[in-house]
Amino acid sequence: MTVKEYLNQAYLLDQRIHSHTIECEELKAMAESISSPGFEEHFNASKNTDAPYIRTLEKLWEMEEKVLREQERLICLKAQIREVIAQVDKSEQQAVLRFRYIHNYSWPMIADELGVDRGTVQRWHNKAVAKIILPENAIDLKNASVCN
């Protein structure tokens, strides 16, 4: 895994959490909606006697648990990324890496925040990435490594 792949994991996990959160909101809306009654006769001996929203609530609970697990992984990953960023000796390069990989800022946003042009930001970024050495226990979400 390259340094950029490692650092980009936090952004990708954050996006996945955001997507799951949207799914949770949709499931909540479904659970709160009123389903129409079925007036036709059914002669099914193994008919499900649960209310229609029960299955939706179960799915919602499972999705919320998944979001919580992924948030814990994101916290561990960002903590490790902060340690990796601390290896860089120049504070402006550290700032670029923090804004980019911890706070998910775009290049123009970082340039505005630091008061420099975008080319300078990318030059600082490239120099900082070249200095980084990944830890031996680097979290790899593709291989489902867990944090300590």
Report the alpha-carbon distance of residue 1 to residue 125 in Å, rounded.
18
State the pLDDT at residue 61: 86
pLDDT digits (tens, 9 = 90+) for 75-134: 999 999 999 999 999 999 999 999 999 999 999 999 999 999 999 999 999 999 999 988
State the pLDDT at residue 117: 94
Report the alpha-carbon distance of residue 2 to residue 76 in Å, rounded.
19
Q: Where are the alpha helices (DSSP H) in the chain?
A: 3-32, 52-85, 91-97, 107-114, 118-131
Report the alpha-carbon distance of residue 81 to residue 41 in Å, rounded.
60
Q: Is 145 helix (H, G, I), strand (E, B) or coil?
A: coil
Question: What domains can you pick out in the chain, each with its CATH number?
Answer: 3-34+54-131 (1.10.10.10)
Answer yes or no: is pLDDT of 142 > 90.
no
Local confidence band at 135 (pLDDT 50, 70, 90 cut-offs): confident
pLDDT digits (tens, 9 = 90+) for 20-33: 888 888 888 877 77
Q: What is the mean pLDDT of residues 33-57?
A: 65
Question: Considering the chain, what percentage of its residues have pLDDT values greater than 70?
Answer: 82
